[in-house]
Amino acid sequence: MKLKHLFLRGCTAALLLAGVAHVAAADELADIKKAGKIRVAIAMGTPLYSYVDDNLKPTGSDVDTATLLAHDLGVKLEIVQVTNAARVPTLQARRADLVVADLSITPERAKVVDFSIPYAVISLIVGAPKDIKISGYPDLNGKTIGLTRATVNDSITTEMAKGADIKRYEDDATLITSMVTGQIDIFSSTPSNLSEIQKRAPQRNVEMKFAQKDFDLGIALQQGQPALKDWVNNWVRENLKNGKLNAIYKKYHGRDLPARITQVQG
């Protein structure tokens, strides 16, 4: 009787574990289609990539990308507005199905989320007023530099400018405002944010001092979702081949995607 009891307990435990595994391996692609909508996390307040226009309507290259993706999937787009720092946590907390938010593909992020093949790129630069002499990381020693928290700008500047005083902001919009109002004089961000600063504060004579690095951007999704990942990869591949993703990027950024992105194989 005791052996039988232990056997039954073992079977019950095995069934419970199987149920947990089934939940963990739920087919998100099927769930999205069934729900008729896809929740996409987008970091609003990032000039050219995702921002609100004069009519208070979300726009930008990431917004157009997410809109096209939802259309091709045949579902309604629900934009989940997040800060840069909340992009990955929002996905991990399952408050979004995908992240399309100028999210660079890095080894650290790839440990906790999956990425599609690259759909766009982002460039990192250091900028400051013309009268501040900066040509590389050593010139940042002893100086305060502003950047957006939990971005590749944060990680690369922290690593390369160890003698700098780094001031971290929660989003690009706050970083831009701090430069425009003179709260900080040096920043690490993107050429699009530099353009916004120049437009809003021409009297500051802010210019690019040096380029930091170019990163490929990926659409992020939960790990362990092969069906959704295959669909997204195929979608990116097809829309790079037909030129739609390049057209979206060029519309907002004024240049074509690099050949390493557009000449996707497979």
Which tens digit of pLDDT belongs to each residue from 54-94?
A: 999 999 999 999 999 999 999 999 999 999 999 999 999 99
Q: What angle do CA 43, 49, 53 make, to 5 degrees?
A: 90
Q: What is the DSSP secondary structure assignment for residue 85, as one 8-state letter?
A: G
Q: With cut-offs at 50, 70 and 90, classify the pLDDT of residue 24.
A: very low
SS3 264: coil
d(CA 196, CA 192): 6
Delimit the CATH 3.40.190.10 region(s) of the chain: 31-122+215-263, 123-214
Q: What is the mean pLDDT of residues 209-238?
A: 97
Buried b (16+ CB within 10 A) or exposed e, 159-186: ebbeebebbbbebbbebbbbbbeeebbb
CB–CB of 147/153 below 8 Å?
Answer: yes
**For residue 7, is pLDDT > 70?**
no
- What pLDDT, on a 0 to 100 scale, did the predictor assign at position 9? 52
Residue 195 structure tokens: 């353009």
The chain-wide mean pLDDT, for the chain, equals 91
pLDDT bracket for residue 26 (50, 70, 90): confident
Q: Which residue has the tokens 């900080």?
A: 184
Q: Is the pLDDT of residue 266 over 70?
A: no
pLDDT digits (tens, 9 = 90+) for 145-202: 999 999 999 999 999 999 999 999 999 999 999 999 999 999 999 999 999 999 999 9
Best CATH choice for the domain 123-214 from the list 3.40.190.10, 3.40.50.720, 3.50.50.60, 3.40.640.10: 3.40.190.10
Whether 11 has a pLDDT exceeding 50, the answer reads: no
d(CA 161, CA 138): 7
What is the model's pTM?
A: 0.85
* Topology of domain 31-122+215-263, CATH: D-Maltodextrin-Binding Protein; domain 2 (3.40.190)
pLDDT for position 25: 52
In 3D space, the residue among 17, 36, 212 whose CA is nearest the CA of residue 125 turns out to be 212
| Residues 6+ away with beta carbon under 8 Å from 230 | none
Report pLDDT for 189.
97
Q: What is the dihedral of CA 110, 116, 121, 124, to 10 degrees?
A: -10
